[in-house]
């Protein structure tokens, strides 16, 4: 195992064992749960917007190391972004930070948080449309 790979593993283990964003957000505008039925990973994201900007994000969840570390890393990467930026955020961007070599065989777990974020954005958009129609 080379040092880069070891350092990447240490990075993910740290985010799993000492998550910075793992908590419930009481005043969230939207929350969304995503899961991998095959292996039991669950992530619930909480999003708080300030206008068009994601002011706060947090998550709760359980599951494998990669799925939970990924949620924590994603939260740090996207907090403060606009909705347009969030929509443009790609799987590849997240995988690159998580470490392609580590997560390539567990991409479903690695991408659960981002796929859940995309679903949460859809929910947020639908709510805004409904609100505008009232």
Partner 1 sequence: MAEDRSYANPDVLVSTEWVAQHSNDPTVRIAESDEDYLLYEQGHIPGAVKVDWFTILQDPLKRDFIDKKGFEKLMGELGISNDTTVVFYGDKSNWFACYAFWLFNLYGHQKKKIMDGGRAKWVAEGRPLTKDVPSYPKTRYKAQDPDLSVRAFRTDVFKHLEKKLPLVDVRSPQEYRGELLHMPGYPQEGAMRGGHIPGAKNIPWSSAVREDQTFKPAEELRRLYESQGITPDKEIIAYCRIGERSSHTWFVLKYLLGYPKVKNYDGSWTEWGNLVGAPIEKP
> Using CB under 8 A as the criterion, which residues of the chain lie in contact with partner 1 when the complex forms?
9, 12-13, 16-17, 34-40, 64-66, 69, 102-103, 105-106, 108-109, 111-112, 115, 118-119, 122
CB of 134 to partner 1, least distance (A): 25
Backbone torsions φ then ψ of 133, nearest 5 degrees: -80, -20
Nearest to residue 99, comparing CAs of 36, 20, 13, 34? 13
CB of 106 to partner 1, least distance (A): 5
Give the chain's radius of gyration (CA, Å): 15
- Nearer to partner 1 by Cβ, of 28 and 69: the residue is 69
- Nearer to partner 1 by Cβ, of 37 and 51: the residue is 37
Task: Give the bridge partners for 30, in sequence order.
Answer: 47
Maximum CA pair distance of the chain? 59
CB of 8 to partner 1, least distance (A): 10
- Nearer to partner 1 by Cβ, of 14 and 50: the residue is 14
- Nearer to partner 1 by Cβ, of 75 and 111: the residue is 111
Rounded CA separation 70/86 (Å): 16
């Amino acid at each position: 195992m080379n040092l880069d790979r070891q350092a990447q593993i240490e990075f993910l283990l740290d985010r799993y064992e000492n998550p910075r964003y793992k908590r419930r957000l009481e005043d969230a505008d939207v929350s969304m749960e995503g899961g991998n039925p095959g292996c039991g990973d669950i992530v619930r994201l909480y999003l708080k917007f300030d206008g068009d900007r994601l002011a706060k994000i947090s998550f709760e969840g359980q599951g494998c190391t990669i799925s939970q570390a990924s949620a924590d890393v994603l939260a740090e990467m996207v907090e403060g972004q606009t909705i347009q930026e969030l929509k443009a955020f790609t799987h590849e961007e997240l995988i690159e930070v998580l470490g392609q070599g580590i997560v390539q065989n567990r991409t479903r777990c690695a991408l659960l948080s981002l796929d859940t974020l995309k679903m949460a954005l859809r929910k947020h958009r639908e709510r805004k449309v409904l609100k505008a129609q009232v």
